[in-house]
Chains A and B, each alone.
Chain A
Amino acid sequence: MNGFVYLKDVVSLELDREKCTGCMMCIMVCPHEVFAMKDKKAMIINKDLCMECGACQKNCPDNAIRVRSGVGCAAGIIKGILRKSEPSCECGSNTNCC
């Protein structure tokens, strides 16, 4: 998977291991194996693989994860700049892209 790593050290993901109770939801919802279990708590093992989708934060019942989630999509970011709003992927309302 080496060719599928994006820029290094930019991802905003943070995990507060103090708060973690080890439910493993983050491991289940993460599409890029960013988390792993260590000493009955989650830990971040592949931070650069994170795509900031926000699924882990959303599904963490302990509120232990912080990530600035959004679309990693250049067209969406340009639209956001032009409209002075948050980046959003609205490639038309009915598309299967993004």
Chain B
Amino acid sequence: MSLHDEIKSLEMTFEFYTKFINGILWKIPKASTVWSREDIWNTIKVRWSIGRMNYRVKPGLYAVGLPDSNSEIFVTANFKLSFDHLRRALHEMDAWILILDTKGINVWCAAGKGTFGTRELVYRIKAHELDKLVNHKRVIVPQLGATGVAAHEVKNKTGFRVIYGPVRAEDIKSFVVAGLKATPEMRKVNFPLKERIKLIPVELTFGKYYLLAVPAVFFILSGLNKNGYSFDLTWIIGSKAVFSLFVAFISGCVVTPILLPWIPFRRFSMKGLSISLIMSIPLLYFNFLGSTIFEKISWFLMMGALSSFLAMNFTGSTTFTSLSGVQKEMKTALPLQIGAAAIGIIGWIISRFI
């Protein structure tokens, strides 16, 4: 899509900011700094993966407030939530927003892939003629975009200096007030409880249809016994089995992420395993894990494997795990999880007939 087409298709939804700057009449779509009710509702939907596709905005240049040739240019991705957080943070400021085409992916992920990168930034700076728009020759790129952007290359190719802004959009105002200086605190990525809770929906919906398929299989198999098949058993044992699986699921996807920094193991697989062991104690007490010791051990293996695996998956959501580290952990954890799950399932099926 050419730049012209992009602007054309925007005309339907955006108000325009028109102004003479450096002898040119600019017509730039306006970005509101207030979230509409629809924005809020869509944010919730995105977090819960409902209709997640195409939550993107048109790449390009936008105006916030009443910007002029001295206003700062803030760069972001065309994932709508990235844009929304930036524009909300620019409330009551006059600024430009330059949205890179990251195929609807957020700054951090897109920078890792390179779509939020030097090439796209250089292209946008030139295509939108920023050298004619502003007199200061600098763009503010979110710090988490630095994995894709080489500041010195952008400077070489466009003359624009890349200034890395704070990690969190909410710090932008203090960053600007401080003369475009980010404090060490603004540069740091942390992972507080609030952030971990926000990511739980992503974890919960990770398994998608397996979430229903696996319990269904367990439910059906619960009716098996040495005399054939009993629907009474399906209900009595099946509902307990489904509940136990659910507990392991919650252990790995909810409890472990919430308690993450306080669980005394470094390996996520161990964190998940330990929480599932603790959570299965009440199940054991209320006789949810079967009558024979054989079946109980099978349940510990299955629940441990599931919770451990799901907890390990949470490495993808955290902000401090390295590729080398996760690979090292998986090398031992994954075979053990698969082994434990397999032995557990076989043991549980055999115990149907004991």
A interface with B by C-beta (< 8 Å): 1-8, 10-12, 25, 28-33, 49-55, 58-59, 61, 68-78, 87-89, 91-98
Contact = CB atoms under 8 A, between A and B. Distances in A.
A72 B151 contact: no
A71 B112 contact: yes
B61 to A, nearest CB: 23
B324 interface: yes
Interface stretch (B92-100, B223-231, B234-242, B308-316): B308-316
Contact of B313 (A29, A58, A74): A74
B322 A75 contact: no
- Chain A interface helix/strand/loop/mixed: loop
A46 to B, nearest CB: 11
A6 B322 contact: yes
B328 to A, nearest CB: 5
Nearest to B164: A28
Contacts of A93: 53, 103-105
B189 interface: yes
Interface of B: 46-47, 49, 52-56, 79, 81, 103-106, 108-109, 111-113, 143-144, 146-152, 164, 167, 182, 184, 187-191, 199, 202, 206, 260-263, 266-268, 312-313, 315-330, 334
B288 to A, nearest CB: 29
Nearest to B191: A4
Contacts of A98: 108-109, 112, 316-317
B55 A94 contact: yes
Given A55-B147, A98-B108, A3 B260 contact: yes
B323 A58 contact: no
Given A74-B326, A94-B105, A31 B202 contact: no
Contact of A74 (B144, B164, B202, B312): B312
Contacts of A1: 190
B167 A31 contact: yes
A30 B109 contact: no
Contacts of A50: 322
Contacts of A94: 52-56, 79, 104-105
B266 A6 contact: yes
B150 A59 contact: yes
B312 A68 contact: no
A97 B199 contact: yes
Contacts of A3: 260-263
